[in-house]
Copies of this chain bind each other. A is one copy, B any other.
Amino acid sequence: MPDTLTKLAELFNRFPGIGPRQARRFVYFLLAAPRSFREELARGILELSKIIHTCTECQRFFSPARGATLCPLCADPTRDRSTLMVVEKDVDLENVEKSRGFTGTYFILGGTVPILEKNPEERIHLKKLEGLIAHRAKEGLTEVVLALSLTTEGESTEEFLKEHLTPLAEKYGFKISTLGRGLSTGLELEYSDPETIKNALKNRQ
């Protein structure tokens, strides 16, 4: 593989889930693709810098209309601003929206806090979250939902957030809640772990 191609393959190799072999396939795919496809792709990548901003409230990526600083969701007057859901990343927000089960607003943490992390504040937007909460508190915030994944990292992030947000919750008088645990779609009782069964029993209705 010529040097130019190797270099490009190395860039693709850093993409999530892409190993060296598939990275090289990408390069050969691009070589064989029409020039117009390569140009459209390169333009799309470069435009990200120009077009995409982060919403000043929820921190998610969006493509603003001229001068807008809020994403369509944060700018939507019909969303319930008394409830704030904290999620790890943009796709989590999109997935919750798909469920049509939530009418409040969101905050994107931008990452998780692994156990024993020395500089947790560099990994997530904690200061911005605290700022948003202080601001919303004046507008009648009643609940912050911590919607993290049920993985080890998700749970340690939840712990970290609870610690830091509890003083605010007491000061401003809102509730901190977490997503309900139980059986999820497709799960068989035979293969469920004890923790899930215990929660499914506790939350039975």
Interface residues of A (CB under 8 A from B): 1-5, 7-8, 11, 14-17, 22, 24-31, 35, 37-49, 51-52, 61-63, 87-92, 94-96, 98-102, 145, 147-151, 154, 177-205
Contacts and interface: CB of A to CB of B under 8 A. Distances in A.
Interface of A is mostly: helix
Nearest to A197: B99
Contacts of A24: 91
B41 A190 contact: no
Nearest to A54: B31
Contact of A149 (B35, B46, B187, B196): B187
A188 B151 contact: yes
Contacts of A62: 2
5 contacts: A28-B61, A87-B189, A99-B194, A100-B198, A179-B183
